Structure formats: C-alpha cells, structure tokens
Amino acid sequence: MNAEPDKNHSITPLLKTLSGIKGLDDITYGGLPKERPTLVCGGAGTGKTLFGLEFLVRGAVHFNEPGVCLSFEESEIELTKNVASLGFDLEKLKDEKKLIIDQIIIEKNEIEETGEYNLDGLFIRIGLSIDSIGAKRVLIDTMESLFSSFNNEFILRSEIRRLFRWLKKKGVTAVITAEPGEKTFTRYGLEEYISDCVIMLDNQVTEQVATRRLRIVKYRGSKHGTNEYPFLIGKDGISIFPITSVGLEYEVSSEKISSGVPRLDALLGGQGYYRESSILISGTAGTGKSSLAAYFAAETAKRGEKTLYLAFEESQSQIIRNMRSIGLDLEQWVKKGLLEFKIVRPTSYNLELHLAIMYEAIREFKPKSVIIDPLSSLLPISNQLQVRLMIMRIIDFLKMNHITTFLTNLVHSSGSSLEETEIAISSLIDTWLLVKVIELNGECNRLMYILKSRGMAHSNQVREFIITDEGIDLVDVYIGPGVVLTGAARINQEAEDKVASLVCQHDIERKKRELERKRQELEMQIYVMRSQYTAEEEELNLSIQDQGTILSKREKMAQYRKADRTS
Amino acid sequence: MENNNKDSEVSVDVIFQLRLYIAGQSPNSIKAFENLIMICDEHLKGRYDVEIIDLIQNPSLAKEDQILAIPTLVRKLPEPLRKIIGNLSNKERVLDGLNLKSRNSCK
C-alpha cells in the first residue's frame, strides 16, 4: 500500500519534519509529514502516548517548535510524572511557553444529546492553545475517546474529518493516537481520515519476554523502511534501531589492530584484525574464548583505547581473577579507565532492555572496542530470529559508531548445532575464529582455525591453542602422514622422532669409529709388511755384498798363484 | 432513577441557572437558543436564568468549562451539573436532561 502513487509527489515533494525521536527519522528518511496528521496506533501499553509526547518535547527542545498536547485520558500531573523518569521536564517546557497540556474531561453520564451539534468547542479550545504559544506540533491522545463520549457517530465522523482538515490548515504537524481494531488499524477506522502516514506500535510477548516493535504501515509519497523495528523505551525516551535498511553506508577502516596474540596476528595476515570490524570467536565450553577476548581488551588498552566488556556469565572480579591466572593483569586497565565491565544477567531483562543497556553504556563510555561475552547467553531469552535481528542491530550500530566488535559464542559440543546457531549471524561477521576441542588418547586439546576473515590473506592452517599460566599461545600442530597430532600426542611424537634421529646418529658414529679402527688396523698391517719387506731387502743386499767380497778375494788369490785363466 | 426523583423534589422552588455555549451565530446555536427559551417559558417560568456564552468571544471558557460540542446547555444549578448538547430540538430529551420531566409528568 505504500506504493500508492502520489501524483503530486513529483510536483511538490513532500515536506518532512524531523521528529527528533532516535531512529525514527532514519527509517522515515527525514521525519513525519510536515503540517499533516500522522496516525500512531497501538494497544494499551505500547508507548503511543510516550511517542507523541516525545515528539512534542523534542520539537520544543531541539527544533524550537512548541507543542500542544490534548489528552483525553491522563491528567497533566500524571503525564508530567510519567515522563519525568525519561528526562522530559514538562513543567519547565510549560513555563517556557513551549508546551501546553490540555486535558479533556468528558463525563458521559452528565451529558444528554438532543439534535444536531458540532465540535466547535474542541476546535476553539485547540485553536486557542495553538495560537497562544505559536505551536507547530499537536498531539491528540487518544482521539477515539470521543467515540465513547458522543452517541452520534455520524456527526462525530464528519467532525473528525473536519478536524484533520482544520489542523492541516493551521499548519501544525500532528500525531493522533488510536487503539487498534480487529480488522482495521484502528478501532474506529481513523486511518480512513489520515492518509499520509500511519505508524503501528506493538508489544509482543514471546517466552515471557516482551519486545516493543514499530512499523510504518504507510507513508504516502515517501519511501520508508518497511520492517518491524524493535524499539525501546530507555532512560531518555524512545530509541528505534534502524538496521540494514539504512544501508551499509559506514566507512570502513583498513587499519589493522593486534589481537594481543602475536601468533594469531600472523595467522591473520600479519597484523591482526581490521579496526571497526566484527570478530566472532566461537567454540565449546572452556575453549578459551574469554581469554582471547581479554587479550584483545588488554591490547586495546595498551594502545590507550577504551574497551567496554559486556559480560553475561561472570562477574568483573571473577574475570579479572581468571585472567590473572593466565598472566594477564586486567585490573590496571580498569583503574586507568581504559576498560569497563558491564555485567548483566541475560535473563534479568528482555532483549529490548539489553539493547538499551548496551546502547546507554556505549554512549556513556565511548569505547573503541566492545566485547560481548558470550553472545549465546542471549539466545534463551528470545527466539533465534529476534536475537539475530538484535545482533544485526548491535553490529550495525557499533560499526556506524566506528567501534570494533568482539563477540564470543558458546556452541554445544554436538557438531550440528555449531553451524546452526551461527549461520544466523555468520553473514554479519567479518572475522570468524573457531576453537575446537578434540579428544585423542585420553586428553582434550584445543585447536584453532580461521573460518573466515574478510579482506585479508589469512592462513588456512590449524593451530594448537595453548593456555598456560604465562598466557596464551598458538603452536604448530604435528602433521604426520595422515594424522594431525596435538597435546601429549604431539609431544610424544616429537620425542619419538628425536629418539629415532638420535639412534640414527649413534649408528653413524659407531660405523665411523669402526671404519677408523679398520683403517688403523690396515695401516698397522701395511707397516708390518713394509718392515718385513725392508728387512728382507736389507738381508739380500748384505748377501750380495758378501758374495762380491768372496769373488774378489778369489781373483786376488788367482793372481797370486798365476793361475791360467780358465775362462 | 432514584436520584432523579430526589433531584426533582428539591428543585421545586430553586432558580435554575443555565448556560448556553455557542460559537457565533450558527443556525444550530440560534435554534438551540429558541428551543431553550420556549422550553423554559413553559416549564420554568420565572425561575430560570439563562446566560449565553459565545466561545468565539471567550475562547478560554471552552477549556475551563470542558466544552467540546456546540451548542451545549449546562445546568449549573441546581446541582449536580448536567450537560445537554445539540440544538435542543427534542423537547422530551431536554426536560429529561434538566430533570424536569418526572415532575412534569407528576402534575
């Protein structure tokens, strides 16, 4: 129905008035239709009156547009009291002539009807209020009370129609509240008369937890977000969370920030996470998710940046104590005001209040990083879809505020649910680390790997994730033929390898020595043989000499005897 | 209707203080005034006092007296306060609204 063509649209673009209600002006792309009535319908307790009053208060305070509140139900005192807790000081605005609250009391039993009449009295009354402070905004809460006050519906309807026309002519932007009907948006079909903008509020209770929602049913001549937006009534009024409809228009940073664990930074392409990205660590119980979160917090603090730690399961002192046991002193950062814990029991509030608390805490503390530990604690308080929407809103909100989001998620050890729970939010996560416990040879060891990391060349290697009293570290796992070994098995295997190599080395050395001995033996033998040889040679020479001597002696003897030469 | 009877008994010799709220000289306002005078002359002769209040001239009275519909006839006295809205064209209903009917029918 929002696609209804508006012929005038192209000629005179619809003018809008900023409502000043947080988030509403985003999803309406600029506020409510200027100088026209807007119908806000919703059942009892959905926040209609507050919506209208905030519209007036914001107008008076921020846009210098005084407002008139016509209340058919609550008295001025009641209204003033009710919204005082939200920081709206109606008394002050009244004194400053920026607000008039006019309670219309109709005592049905005092009234008799006879013949024709009109509601000029009401017109004069509103007119006087508008003129006396130059009001630009009007709230009528709840118009439908008129139907129970007057019997002649025919007159009433034509008077209401006349009233809306008259309000337009007066140039005021009006919010008209109404109760929803069974088949129509409002019980008495007021939407027939207000064709420009219709907003529905409701308060759904699922599993004992209420969530307020707002939906723009129609906005003639304007684009608008069509989703049901959860909203909250927090310390300072209504906050509607505009989500992805607003678009992924935030600037992204390409700066990297350390995870606090050098080996992890290395896995993530060298320098860690992207600033202002969303990081999810998921794993079963006891896998060191919180430790990683704490390291990240400490690292952020070392850079002099603030971290907000939203914990759902442990108290501040417990977290600090636990981290001290692994060699991390978080207390110093708390003292320096660089780390703030916000401990909330998941079941103490509904989703909307959780959002409000986070929103509030973030606004006050202005952190650079936010840790939510663990996200899964929120699951039981609502259904998955709502949690997903909420997480989407948180992440979008944080990204738009340039905050790095660090989430942990507890998954159950049965493999299937691990994917299921996370499929819902995986698309919102930029860097997703998975810590798994594997059981082998009677021990459990942690394995970590990067499931995804957008926009960075990250390692595909599985690392063993070790927590000692000196901190956390990642080590290479033993990758043997067809097996990946961790923990004691890894150490065992490494030892075995060492022994094997030692044995081998010994063997070589032994062989070396043997060879040496053989060489020495050989050399000895050679020496002996050579000695023998030399001895024999010498003997021979001696013999030759002897023989020479004998011969020469014989010749001499023959000369002496002058013997015939026989030869 | 117990209250009705008591009311009418008391009202025998009190002066009726009536106010007619109008907004300018609209046909309904004129008609209402005419009807009122006629009814009062008939049933309250000599013991009524009608004040005409034009909200266009005194707009603040719309709030003070909680007047929404025009014309509205208010019976200020005798107590309790009663309001009759419309151009007073139905005489029976007007008498009923002023608590004059029962006494009338007694006569």
A43: left (phi over 0), alpha (psi -120 to 50) or beta: beta
Mutate: best of B31, B64, B68, partner A, most A CBs <10 A = B68
Task: Judge: A125–B56 Cβ closer than 8 Å, yes or no.
Answer: no
- Same domain for A166 and A46: yes
Query: Considering A213, A242, A271, which residue would you say is the last residue of a domain?
Result: A242
Mean pLDDT in residue range A298-326: 89
Give the span between the Cα atoms of A106 and A310, in whole angstroms: 50
In this structure, is residue A160 part of a structural domain? yes
Between A35-49, A83-97, A408-422, A432-446, the lowest mean confidence (pLDDT) is in A408-422
Is a pLDDT exceeding 80 seen at residue A109? no
Residue A127 banded pLDDT, cuts 50, 70, 90:
very high
SS3 content of chain B, % helix, strand, coil (to 5): 40, 25, 35
- Same domain for A211 and A268: no
- Same domain for A170 and A129: yes
Give the span between the Cα atoms of A433 and A263, in whole angstroms: 14
pLDDT at position A4 is 46
CB-nearest partner of B28 from A117, A128, A149: A117
Is a pLDDT exceeding 80 seen at residue B87? yes
Give the span between the Cα atoms of A399 and A473, in whole angstroms: 29
Give the span between the Cα atoms of A50 and A141, in whole angstroms: 10
Domain housing A171: 42-106+116-242
Mean pLDDT in residue range A458-479: 79
- Same domain for A317 and A216: no
Residue A477 banded pLDDT, cuts 50, 70, 90:
confident
pLDDT at position A480 is 65
CB-nearest partner of B93 from A110, A112, A149: A112
pLDDT at position B10 is 45
Output the CA torsion sign for A472, A478, A479, A484.
negative
Residue A328 banded pLDDT, cuts 50, 70, 90:
confident
Residue A169, both tokens:
């002519």
Mutate: best of A112, A126, A128, A156, partner B, most B CBs <10 A = A112
ipTM: 0.84
Give the span between the Cα atoms of A289 and A99, in whole angstroms: 52
Count of A–B CB contacts within 8 Å?
101
Mean pLDDT in residue range A368-379: 83
pLDDT at position A467 is 82
Closest by CA position to B91, among listed B18, B31, B39, B28:
B39
In this structure, is residue A27 part of a structural domain? no
Alpha carbon of A172: minimum distance to chain B alpha carbons (Å)? 19
Q: How high does pLDDT run on average in chain B? A: 79
- Same domain for A235 and A192: yes
In this structure, is residue A426 part of a structural domain? yes
pLDDT at position A287 is 80
pLDDT at position A457 is 79
Task: Judge: B84–A125 Cβ closer than 8 Å, yes or no.
Answer: no
pLDDT at position A483 is 65
B56 contacts on A by Cβ (under 8 Å): 124
Closest by CA position to A142, among listed A71, A248, A240:
A71
B32 contacts on A by Cβ (under 8 Å): 115
pLDDT at position A381 is 62
Task: Judge: B60–A120 Cβ closer than 8 Å, yes or no.
Answer: no
Let me know: does A130 contact A138? Beta carbons within 8 Å.
Answer: yes
Q: Give residue for tokens 């914990």.
A: A311
Residue A5 banded pLDDT, cuts 50, 70, 90:
very low
Closest by CA position to A279, among listed A320, A305, A307:
A307
- Same domain for A212 and A272: no
CB-nearest partner of B88 from A115, A119, A146: A115
Alpha carbon of B13: minimum distance to chain A alpha carbons (Å)? 22
Task: Judge: B87–A114 Cβ closer than 8 Å, yes or no.
Answer: yes
Is a pLDDT exceeding 80 seen at residue A484? no
**B43/A512: higher pLDDT:** A512
Mean pLDDT in residue range A132-136: 92
In this structure, is residue A72 part of a structural domain? yes
Is a pLDDT exceeding 80 seen at residue A415? no
Residue A160, both tokens:
């209401």
- Same domain for A279 and A216: no
Task: Judge: B70–A118 Cβ closer than 8 Å, yes or no.
Answer: yes
pLDDT at position A147 is 84
Task: Judge: A122–B87 Cβ closer than 8 Å, yes or no.
Answer: no
pLDDT at position A399 is 82
Task: Judge: A119–B87 Cβ closer than 8 Å, yes or no.
Answer: no
In this structure, is residue A184 part of a structural domain? yes
In this structure, is residue A481 part of a structural domain? no
pLDDT at position A2 is 45
pLDDT at position A443 is 75
Give the span between the Cα atoms of A168 and A173, in whole angstroms: 8
In this structure, is residue A445 part of a structural domain? yes
pLDDT at position A352 is 66
Alpha carbon of B31: minimum distance to chain A alpha carbons (Å)? 10
- Same domain for A378 and A232: no
pLDDT at position B106 is 42
Q: In degrees to the nearest 10, what's the CA dihedral of A63, A66, A71, A77?
A: 90
Task: Judge: A114–B71 Cβ closer than 8 Å, yes or no.
Answer: no
pLDDT at position A6 is 46
Q: In degrees to the nearest 10, what's the CA dihedral of A78, A81, A83, A88?
A: 130
Residue A249 banded pLDDT, cuts 50, 70, 90:
low
Where does chain B show beta strands of DSSP type E?
16-22, 48-54, 72-77, 82-85
- Same domain for A347 and A199: no
Residue B7 banded pLDDT, cuts 50, 70, 90:
very low
Is a pLDDT exceeding 70 seen at residue B107? no
CB-nearest partner of B21 from A111, A121, A127: A121
Closest by CA position to A267, among listed A255, A275, A276, A258:
A258
pLDDT at position A398 is 83
Give the span between the Cα atoms of A314 and A372, in whole angstroms: 12
Where does A358-456 show beta strands of DSSP type E?
369-373, 404-410, 431-440, 443-453
- Same domain for A152 and A83: yes
CA atoms within 13 A on the CB side of A564: 2
Is a pLDDT exceeding 90 seen at residue A534? yes
Residue A142 banded pLDDT, cuts 50, 70, 90:
confident
A125 contacts on B by Cβ (under 8 Å): 59, 62-63, 67-68
Whether the upstream peptide bond of residue A374 has omega within 30° of 0, thus cis, is yes
Closest by CA position to A167, among listed A90, A97, A68, A72:
A68
Alpha carbon of B19: minimum distance to chain A alpha carbons (Å)? 14
Mean pLDDT in residue range A120-139: 92
CA angle, corner A527, sides to A521 and A532, nearest 5?
Answer: 130
Give the span between the Cα atoms of A374 and A312, in whole angstroms: 6
Alpha carbon of A106: minimum distance to chain B alpha carbons (Å)? 7
Query: Considering A181, A212, A242, which residue would you say is the last residue of a domain?
Result: A242
Tell me the helices (H) and strands (E) count for chain A, helix number first. Answer: 15, 25
Give the span between the Cα atoms of B72 and B61, in whole angstroms: 12
Mean pLDDT in residue range A51-57: 92
CA–centroid distance for A136 within its chain = 41
Task: Judge: A116–B96 Cβ closer than 8 Å, yes or no.
Answer: no
For B82, the closest chain A residue by CA position comes to A110
Q: What is the CATH number of the domain that holds A210?
A: 3.40.50.300
Query: Considering A476, A500, A528, which residue would you say is the last residue of a domain?
Result: A476
CA-only gyration radius of chain B, Å = 14
CA angle, corner A421, sides to A416 and A427, nearest 5?
Answer: 115
pLDDT at position A133 is 92
Edge-to-edge order in the sheet of strand B82-85: A111-113, B82-85, B72-77, B16-22, B48-54
Between A26-40, A418-432, A499-513, the lowest mean confidence (pLDDT) is in A418-432
Alpha carbon of A128: minimum distance to chain B alpha carbons (Å)? 7
- Same domain for A229 and A376: no
Task: Judge: A119–B71 Cβ closer than 8 Å, yes or no.
Answer: no
**A285/A12: higher pLDDT:** A285
Give the span between the Cα atoms of A234 and A299, in whole angstroms: 32
**A304/A248: higher pLDDT:** A304
**A470/A356: higher pLDDT:** A470
Q: Using beta carbons and an 8 Å cutoff, which residues of B are at the interface with A?
A: 21, 23, 26, 28, 31-32, 35, 55-56, 59-60, 62-63, 66-72, 80-90, 93-94, 96-97
B62 contacts on A by Cβ (under 8 Å): 121-122, 124-125, 128
pLDDT at position A12 is 62
For B69, the closest chain A residue by CA position comes to A119
A117 contacts on B by Cβ (under 8 Å): 28, 69-72, 85-87
Let me know: does A127 contact A168? Beta carbons within 8 Å.
Answer: no
Alpha carbon of A36: minimum distance to chain B alpha carbons (Å)? 22
Is a pLDDT exceeding 80 seen at residue B85? yes
Closest by CA position to B85, among listed B101, B102, B67:
B67
Q: How high does pLDDT run on average in chain A? A: 82
In this structure, is residue A31 part of a structural domain? no
pLDDT at position A564 is 65
Q: How many residues does chain A have?
A: 567
Alpha carbon of A201: minimum distance to chain B alpha carbons (Å)? 29
Neighbours of A299 (CB within 10 A): 20
Mean pLDDT in residue range A125-146: 90
Task: Judge: B93–A121 Cβ closer than 8 Å, yes or no.
Answer: no
Is a pLDDT exceeding 60 seen at residue A86? yes
Residue A420, both tokens:
């299921």
CB-nearest partner of B94 from A114, A121, A122: A114
pLDDT in tens, A192-224: 777 789 999 988 776 666 678 888 888 888 887
Domain total of chain A:
2
pLDDT at position A446 is 83
Let me know: does A492 contact A483? Beta carbons within 8 Å.
Answer: no
Task: Judge: A114–B66 Cβ closer than 8 Å, yes or no.
Answer: no
pLDDT at position A380 is 66
Is a pLDDT exceeding 80 seen at residue A392? no
**A307/A469: higher pLDDT:** A307
Edge-to-edge order in the sheet of strand A307-311: A339-343, A307-311, A369-373, A404-410, A278-283, A431-440, A443-453, A463-468, A471-476
- Same domain for A376 and A462: yes
Residue B46 banded pLDDT, cuts 50, 70, 90:
confident
Mean pLDDT in residue range A479-489: 68
Task: Judge: A116–B85 Cβ closer than 8 Å, yes or no.
Answer: no
Is a pLDDT exceeding 70 seen at residue A566? no
Let me know: does B51 contact B19? Beta carbons within 8 Å.
Answer: yes
Is a pLDDT exceeding 50 seen at residue B47? yes
A119 contacts on B by Cβ (under 8 Å): 68-70
